Structures are given as structure tokens and as C-alpha cells.
């Protein structure tokens, strides 16, 4: 699945979790919005969710994720797994075109419509068209700097914006 729509990055660093995203919304080769908010807080601000892909699909997935979090309030891995299972098996959900990054204080997950629930071993996860650029920058900054989690996310997203035409510098960053 290739999304040319955004960049979302989350990292765990020095006991903090930060997630950020750019604000660009593109339709084809046209920028239609530059200040979209693609990061949401759920469960009384204990869970951060970032999305890449079709906005309506992402909102539908966030609603489903929120319902799963209510069903399993202290168990993000179970909620993410149940979402992925529904997404893969539900006839209407299978058509949703988005990726979701979800984090809390303990876990980081990528959830996809193919049934993937992936937890990165290094705590760094990027999705969207600029995700790989942001991940590469974050890995270098985590290793070779004394920046905070939020500062690493910001600098990594700025680097991605310099490379990916579907990513801008209008950033929204949240920290747990």
C-alpha cells in the first residue's frame, strides 16, 4: 500500500513518547489543505493516533479503534489486534485505504487493513509517503544527539518535508 498523502512519525526516547504529523492534504498533484490535524488523542489523552491515507477512511478507523479501546481499556495490544482483525474480515472495512499508528506509554503499533499489527523493535515508526525519510532521520538523531523526543520528531519531519513533496512543514506534535 503506497500512500502519497502525509508523514506521521512516532518515537520513544528517554522515557517519552512523541508523535507528529505534517498538515498537507493532497489530491493528485494539488495541495488542497496545508494545516490538517492528523494526530488525535483518545482515551482521556492516554493514546495517540496518527493516520495516513484517505481522511474519511482514517476517521472511520479511529472511531472503530476508540470502540475497541473502550472494550479493552487497559489493553492497547488487544484493541489494536481486534481492529486489525475486523479491518481485514469486515466487507466494508476492507475497502478503507489508510494506515494507523497508535501509541500509549507502553506500546507502539502500526495497524493495517491487511491484518498487520507491527510493533517496531526500536520504538520508531513512520507511515505515509514521507514515513521512511522521517524514520531514517529519527534513527540518526536518536543515536547521535541529545534532543528530546519532541525535538527529534520535529527535526525528522522537517527533513522528510525537504525530501517528500507530499509532506509540508506545518507540523502538529503531541507527547505522552
What are the grid coordinates assigned to 98, written together?
Answer: 489508510
Cα–Cα dist 76/97, whole Å? 22
3-class secondary-structure state, position 54: coil
Catalytic residue list contains 150: no
CA 12 centroid distance within chain: 13
CA 2 to CA 174: how far, in whole Å? 25
Closest CA to 116 of 95, 133, 101: 101
The conformation of residue 34, written as its DSSP 8-state character, comes to S
Q: Note whether 89 and 115 are within 8 A (CB).
A: no
Residues known to be catalytic: 6
Amino acid at each position: 500500500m503506497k500512500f502519497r498523502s502525509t508523514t506521521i512519525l512516532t518515537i520513544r526516547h528517554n522515557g517519552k513518547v512523541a508523535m507528529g504529523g505534517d498538515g498537507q492534504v493532497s489530491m493528485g498533484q494539488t495541495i488542497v489543505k496545508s494545516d490538517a490535524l492528523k494526530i488525535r488523542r483518545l482515551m482521556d489523552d492516554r493514546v495517540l493516533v496518527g493516520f495516513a491515507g484517505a481522511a474519511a477512511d482514517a476517521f472511520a478507523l479511529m472511531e472503530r479503534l476508540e470502540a475497541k479501546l473502550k472494550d479493552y481499556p487497559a489493553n492497547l495490544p488487544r484493541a489494536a489486534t481486534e481492529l486489525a482483525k475486523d479491518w481485514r474480515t469486515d466487507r466494508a472495512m476492507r475497502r478503507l485505504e489508510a494506515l494507523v499508528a497508535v501509541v500509549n506509554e507502553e506500546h507502539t503499533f502500526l495497524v493495517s487493513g491487511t491484518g498487520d499489527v507491527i510493533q517496531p523493535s526500536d520504538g520508531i515508526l513512520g507511515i505515509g509517503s514521507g514515513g521512511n525519510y522521517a524514520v531514517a532521520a529519527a534513527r540518526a538523531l536518536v543515536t547521535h544527539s541529545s534532543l528530546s523526543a519532541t525535538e527529534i520528531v520535529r527535526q525528522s519531519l522537517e527533513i522528510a518535508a525537504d525530501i517528500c513533496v507530499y509532506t509540508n512543514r506545518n507540523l502538529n506534535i503531541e507527547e505522552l
